[in-house]
Amino acid sequence: MKIITRTIWLLSLVSLFTDVSSEMLYPVIPIYLKSINFSIVFIGILEGLAEATAGISKGYFGKMSDNTGKRLPFVQLGYLLSALSKPMMALFTFPLWIFSARSLDRLGKGIRTGARDAMLSDESTPATKGQVFGFHRGMDTLGAVIGPAVALLFLYFYPGKYRTLFYVAFIPGVVSIACTFLLKEKETTPKESKIKTRFLDFLQYWKSSPPAYRKLVTGMLLFALFNSSDMFLILKMKDNGASDVAAIGIYIFYNLVYAAFSFPLGKLGDKIGLKKVFISGLVVFAVVYLGMGATNNRYLFLALFFLYGIYAAATDGISKAWISNITGKNDTATAIGTYTGFQSICTLLASSLAGFVWYRFGSTALFLGTGIATIVLVVYFSLLTIRAKAT
């Protein structure tokens, strides 16, 4: 049986081009906002509210996708909104307009995530989920390698031309939209023909979901609560004298490792078990954070970022594959949307807490504390038993 089907290829290409577009701007947005006189406080509020928009909407639109039995319209609309947000950022500099553009980008992510992952799940079997989600994750992350590299190259030749870069980022966004129109949706049966999806209906899924789902996602969300933004790792390097170019370069290196290992580790997960690979990823994460807390050696940082890429490849796609294997087919978008929605909110809280700990106690306390907490969760997942798959 063909594992990487046409639909999986197309969805992966859509994610790749979208990530090229988004990651081209990721390191530039804070600089651009400061250049048009946005304060650090307002930038923080803007990003926080935008991420909260994405987090809450993931569960809602995932539930709506399951209720209607439709996937493709959510995928197409989600990627369209994210693409349109790029040139919007450059058109006007009014705070309300900038907030609307960033929220539109995040809303697009919220609309598409559950439905897209459900399409990936429908294209695979329980024995191939790791490979399918790993392949998609790898292609997506490859965009995070290409995007910042293009941005660095552009700004090298055209320094300070931030607005022009926003228009350039729209080009791969258009390519991603075009790819969505090559997708074909499988026939599915809606749960109820005229069911109305209320905004917080996805929260009810937590009560009705399989016990295995609640146990698994509880552990994953606890991890998300202290797994703060990657920016803190880059700030650690900056504190030890790394230049801006070196910091962005090592971010690209991390994403390259992440992209390269996502599919092989997904394949390994299908062979030896998703749980074993996921736990191994958490062990690697603990080593990275303990290492970051214990050393100031720049060369060792490179090795730790290599391991950090391995951790990401061993957990991100694997977690969604694992969730989709223990939930019913008609609930896949809701299950993944609910998890990723709560995960977004937990990540926001984690980054806020990390910022406080760093400010109050120093970076060493933050990294060592996170590493120790992860070891506790490794024990939790090791003892976790998933006895039955939902039907």
- Considering the entire predicted model, what is its pTM? 0.83
Contact 185, 75 (CB under 8 A): no
Tell me which residue has tokens 């929260």: 203
User: Please, what is the Cα angle at 198 between 193 and 201, to 5 degrees?
Assistant: 95
Per DSSP, helices labelled H in 36-128 are 40-68, 72-91, 95-122
> Which of 206-220, 238-252, 306-320 shows the lowest mean pLDDT across its residues?
238-252
Identify the band that residue 161 occupies on the pLDDT scale cut at 50, 70 and 90. Answer: confident
- Poorest-confidence range of 94-98, 167-171, 352-356? 94-98
- Count CB-CB contacts under 10 A for residue 379: 10
Rounded mean pLDDT of the chain?
85
The count of C-alpha atoms lying within 13 angstroms of the C-alpha of 326, restricted to the half-sphere facing its C-beta, is 21
Determine the pLDDT at residue 197.
Answer: 64
Cα distance between residue 151 and residue 140, in whole Å: 17
Judge whether residue 201 has pLDDT over 70.
no
Please give the average per-residue pLDDT across 302-319, as a whole number.
Answer: 94
- Burial state string for 139-178 with b = 16 or more CB within 10 A and e = fewer than 16: bbbbbbbbbbbbbbebbeeeeeebbebbebbbebbebbbe
**Least trusted range by pLDDT, from 197-211, 327-341, 360-374:** 197-211
Cβ atoms of 119 and 11 closer than 8 Å: yes
Express each pLDDT in 4-63 by its tens digit.
999 999 999 999 999 999 888 876 776 677 677 776 556 656 666 666 767 778 888 888
Q: Please give the Cα distance from 319 to 83 (Å, whole number).
A: 27
Residue 272 has pLDDT above 70, yes or no: yes
Greatest mean pLDDT among 34-38, 48-52, 197-201, 226-230: 226-230
Contacts (Cβ under 8 Å, ≥6 apart) of 296: 240
Residue 192 confidence (pLDDT) above 60: no
Q: How far apart are CA 197 and CA 53, in angstroms?
A: 18
State the pLDDT at residue 235. 76
Q: What is the pLDDT of residues 126-147, one digit of tens each?
A: 889 999 999 999 999 999 899 9
pLDDT value at residue 304: 93
Distances (CA, A) of 280 to 178, 260, 284, 323, 360: 38, 17, 6, 17, 31
Cα 30 to Cα 35, 106, 121: the distances in Å are 9, 16, 35
Domain assignments of the chain as residue spans, ordered by start? 6-183+203-383
Which CATH code, of 1.10.1670.10, 1.20.1250.20, 1.25.40.10, 3.20.130.10, is assigned to 6-183+203-383? 1.20.1250.20
Residue 241 Rama label (left phi>0; alpha psi -120 to 50; beta): left
Confidence label for 1 from pLDDT (cuts 50, 70 and 90): low
Residue range 293-308: mean pLDDT, rounded: 88
pLDDT of residue 340: 83
Taking residue 364's Cβ as centre, other Cβ atoms within 10 Å add up to 15
pLDDT band for position 289 (cuts 50, 70, 90): very high
The token pair at 54 is: 């994405």
- Tell me the pLDDT band of 388, cut-offs 50, 70 and 90: very low
The helix or strand, by DSSP H or E, that contains position 176, with its residue range, turns out to be: helix 162-180
The model's confidence at residue 105, banded by pLDDT at 50, 70 and 90, is: confident
Query: Residue 199: helix, strand or coil by DSSP?
Result: coil
